[in-house]
Amino acid sequence: MSISAETTQQKPPVAGSQRLRSFASTVQLPGFGLPTQNCQRYVPRGVCEHGHIQLARSSCELRSCPDHWREWATKGTESAVARLAAYREAQKHALNKRMVHVVASPEVTGEVTERRLWQWRSEAQQIARDAGLRGGLMVVHPYRTTDELDQLYGQAVAGGLPGDYGKWRFARDLAAGDWKAQQRYISAAPHYHIIGPARDVDGGAVAGLDGWVVKMIRSLPRHQLRDPEAYEALAGVTWYLRSHAAHQPGRHSVSYFGAVHPATFDPQEALTASQWDQVCQMANHAVEPPGADEEALCGADDCEAPVFDLYELAARMAQIEWFNPLDGTIKNQLIGLKLWYIDGMAVPPPHTTTDKEALLSWLERKGWEVAHGPVAAAGSTMRLLSDY
Ligand SMILES: [Zn+2]
Ligand SMILES: [Zn+2]
């Protein structure tokens, strides 16, 4: 018996607010931590045809970071898509090349504690196997949204909120980064999402087993090496699941088990080098459509000139017809940038790296010093200065 037709929405009992506070002090969601000093730093990403240095914040890719948890989610999504697709690619039989998305929920009686959250994860893996999954990617979800949030979300959707604007994104907007505020809209209700290879999922086989409920959400499109559809479907669901996965220091929100676990399945062994290469490329495109950053344009006011990469900087600066007509301030900034980034002969002091203007004026001063004063320059910069 397959239970894909099951429609009953199980609303687990809501833990008391005192209890939620204790659970929620340990188990959070991605993006509710503090930004690190490191991720506030500006780094040069390129230079435009008019010499404007493009500065962007470096991403820490940390799960807790309010600015960069999305990059954490994206990076993990890409590697998960590659691993799961590689597993499917390695299968001999075309019929077997699907992935299913299943959710397993334990019966919650009594207090939800962080210890039980992770104990249940091990049980959930066994439950998933019993239901017919040979393995999979497991995402731990500690919370569900409250009825109040669901109502607010329903109203927002009726009021024209775009269809792809998810419930959790909406909840996050309401909290505006404040974990205390977020707790008003969530209740502790651990459940475990699994994306894994299966012919069929038989929730009936495990129904009633210690109160676990297994629900088939959907079957994903069939894998084909060069068809983006299955990769994109995998990427979409994996990213969304990661966006509200458990965040607890020292614990992985997402793990593999069974047939797709790294100890069992090595894509580089199971596939030819060119197959694995293709799978990685498709996974990369599924999370970052090709061409997204191919046409980088300058971010300076009223400029929009094309941007070239930093590895071209030294060669560009050596072209007198490009470098000489530039404004004096810009020349100094570029010489300073070369001194720092290409020649490695100066490092900006920490307080300048979190402030765009301060960083630019430090670059300008360094460039001026190279041209006029105490700082020695690399040979290639000396040649450049003979025409400056
Ligand atoms: Zn960060
Ligand atoms: Zn520009």
- Closest of 234, 280, 281, 286 to residue 98, by C-alpha: 234
What is the pTM assigned to this prediction? 0.77
Cα(30) to centroid(ligand 1), Å = 12
Distance between CA atoms of 233 and 84, rounded to whole angstroms?
12
Asked whether residue 298 is assigned to any structural domain, the reply reads no
Residue 15: predicted pLDDT: 47
Asked whether residue 81 is assigned to any structural domain, the reply reads yes
Instruction: Return contacts of 118-125, CB within 8 angstroms, 24+ apart.
Output: 118/251, 120/190, 120/192, 121/192, 121/255, 123/210, 123/212, 124/192, 124/194, 124/212, 125/257, 125/258
First to last CA, the chain: 80
Q: Encoding tokens for residue 327?
A: 């404004």
Residue 188: predicted pLDDT: 94
Cα(330) to centroid(ligand 2), Å = 10
Cα(37) to centroid(ligand 1), Å = 8
Distance between CA atoms of 143 and 20, rounded to whole angstroms?
10
Q: Tokens 């009936």: give the residue.
A: 204
Which of 287, 321, 356 is the endpoint of a domain? 287
Considering the domain architecture, whether residues 117 and 196 belong to the same structural domain is answered as yes
Which ligand is nearest to the Cα of residue 71, counting in written order? 1
Which ligand is nearest to the Cα of residue 65, counting in written order? 1
Under 8 Å between Cβ of 270 and 90 = yes
Considering the domain architecture, whether residues 131 and 247 belong to the same structural domain is answered as yes
The residues pairing with 213 across neighbouring beta strands, listed in sequence order, are 105
Asked whether residue 190 is assigned to any structural domain, the reply reads yes
Asked whether residue 231 is assigned to any structural domain, the reply reads yes
Residues with C-beta atoms within 5 A of ion ligand 1: 39, 60, 65, 67-68
Considering the domain architecture, whether residues 47 and 135 belong to the same structural domain is answered as no
Asked whether residue 6 is assigned to any structural domain, the reply reads no
Considering the domain architecture, whether residues 73 and 107 belong to the same structural domain is answered as yes
Sheet of 213-219: strand order equals: 213-219, 99-105, 186-197, 135-145, 254-258
Residues in CB range of 128: below 8 A, 6 or more apart: 102, 104, 136, 138, 192, 194, 196, 214, 257, 258
Considering the domain architecture, whether residues 61 and 73 belong to the same structural domain is answered as no
Residue-wise pLDDT for 43-55, tens only, equals 899 999 999 999 9
Considering the domain architecture, whether residues 253 and 327 belong to the same structural domain is answered as no
Check residue 288 and report its DSSP letter: S
Considering the domain architecture, whether residues 259 and 344 belong to the same structural domain is answered as no
The angle that helices 147-158 and 167-175 make with each other, rounded to 10 degrees, is 100
Cα(39) to centroid(ligand 1), Å = 4
Asked whether residue 267 is assigned to any structural domain, the reply reads yes
Cα(385) to centroid(ligand 1), Å = 38
Cα(297) to centroid(ligand 2), Å = 8
Under 8 Å between Cβ of 131 and 201 = yes
Which of 287, 319, 344 is the endpoint of a domain? 287
The angle that helices 228-243 and 273-287 make with each other, rounded to 10 degrees, is 60
Residue 50: predicted pLDDT: 96
Domain range enclosing 361? 32-65+309-388
Considering the domain architecture, whether residues 190 and 58 belong to the same structural domain is answered as no
**How many domains does the structure of the chain reveal?**
2
Residue-wise pLDDT for 9-35, tens only, equals 444 445 455 567 789 999 999 999 887
Considering the domain architecture, whether residues 237 and 134 belong to the same structural domain is answered as yes
Which of 287, 317, 333 is the endpoint of a domain? 287
Low-confidence ranges of the chain (pLDDT < 50): 1-13, 15
Asked whether residue 154 is assigned to any structural domain, the reply reads no
Considering the domain architecture, whether residues 53 and 201 belong to the same structural domain is answered as no
SS (H, E, C) 306-348: EEECHHHHHHHHHCHHHHCCCCHHHHHHHHHHHHHHHCCCCCC
Residue 378: predicted pLDDT: 66
Considering the domain architecture, whether residues 198 and 341 belong to the same structural domain is answered as no
Cα(158) to centroid(ligand 1), Å = 34
Considering the domain architecture, whether residues 247 and 376 belong to the same structural domain is answered as no
Which ligand is nearest to the Cα of residue 54, counting in written order? 2
Cα(23) to centroid(ligand 1), Å = 25
Asked whether residue 174 is assigned to any structural domain, the reply reads no
Nearest-5° Cα angle at 168, 165 to 173: 80
